[in-house]
Amino acid sequence: MALIRLDKFLSNAGIGSRSQVRDYIKFRRVWVDGVACVKADTKIDIKKNIVTFDKRVVSYEEYVYIILNKPKGVISATEDDKEKTVVDLLDEKYKKMKVFPVGRLDKDTVGLLILSNDGRFAHNTLSPKKHIKKSYYAHINGKITEEHIKKFEEGLVINGGYKCLPAKLSIEYSADNFSKVHIIIKEGKYHQIKRMFEAFGKKVVYLKRTSFDDITLDETLEEGQYRLANDEEMKIIEKFIKK
Ligand code: URA
């Protein structure tokens, strides 16, 4: 039996933010099984109770937000004939809920990937106009210098002629044939980080996503492990799903 608080039910169903829906409840605009319900913490059985808002039935779809530490060797897709996908890593329960990866990491990239069945979250974070900040940690097969940092700041032109938005590069370690760097970009072109280093004739030999907006990779998750977003992460996610 799936029980959920009335205010959560309404905000998950897209009626409004938690505080807005509490006002709606207070002002008797929300009814449960034909009776006005003024208590935000009333437990709703999503399979049995009929909830209406301003006399219209509220349809409820259960959304999940999964925080995965993506391992190497799996592709960011829901299904594939040949390759193992990130969805293959999940419990049957989530597969049935039609979860998909929100955005894409390359097959050999590891780190933070969010999976969800909420199209609004995907739409509002993946839209190129949103400029969501994403951070990466990378190993590069060559020396990275101040000169490269400047070029990142100015906006690099990558293969295909695209001029990237200004990005932040910082150096953790740099030697003649190996460097460790951190990158923050605000867009997500195909193979973007790899192409940015290719513009200098260098190769990314290891790539890990360490954050997505203000959600940082939970390093207690081993590669391949996942969990549902916690309360703090849900606050960040909710920013993107409000109407
Ligand atoms: N940039 C890349 O080149 N690959 C990724 O997986 C993510 C960003």
Per-residue pLDDT at 1: 56
> Which residues are 111's β-sheet partners?
70, 209
Per-residue pLDDT at 13: 81
- Measured from the CB, is residue 167 less than 6 Å from ligand 1? no
Structure token pair of residue 236: 């960040």
Among protein residues, the one whose CA lies closest to atom 3 of ligand 1: 191
Among protein residues, the one whose CA lies closest to atom 2 of ligand 1: 191
The whole-angstrom separation of Cα 140 and Cα 142 is: 6
The whole-angstrom separation of Cα 164 and Cα 167 is: 8
> Which residues are 207's β-sheet partners?
138
Write the CA distances from 189 to 52, 66, 176, 222, integer angstroms: 42, 23, 29, 27
Among protein residues, the one whose CA lies closest to atom 7 of ligand 1: 105
Do residues 241 and 120 touch, judged by C-beta distance below 8 A? yes
How many Cα neighbours within 13 Å face the side chain of 109? Answer: 24
The whole-angstrom separation of Cα 243 and Cα 20 is: 12
Q: Which residue ranges form the domains of the chain, and what is each CATH number?
A: 3-57 (3.10.290.10), 65-128+215-241 (3.30.70.580), 134-212 (3.30.70.1560)
The whole-angstrom separation of Cα 162 and Cα 156 is: 8
Rounded CA Rg of the chain: 22
Q: Which residues in the chain come in under a pLDDT of 50?
A: 243
Q: What amino acid is encoded at 97 in this protein?
A: M
- Measured in Å, residue 191 CA sits from the centre of ligand 1 at 4
Which amino acids are annotated catalytic?
Answer: 106
Ligand 1 atom index nearest CA of 195: 3
Among protein residues, the one whose CA lies closest to atom 4 of ligand 1: 191
- Measured in Å, residue 8 CA sits from the centre of ligand 1 at 35
The whole-angstrom separation of Cα 15 and Cα 91 is: 29
Instruction: Give residue 213's region: left, alpha or beta (phi > 0; psi -120 to 50).
Output: left
- Measured from the CB, is residue 192 less than 6 Å from ligand 1? yes
Pocket test for ligand 1, best of 72, 165, 186, 194 (most atoms within 8 A of CB): 194
Per-residue pLDDT at 17: 86
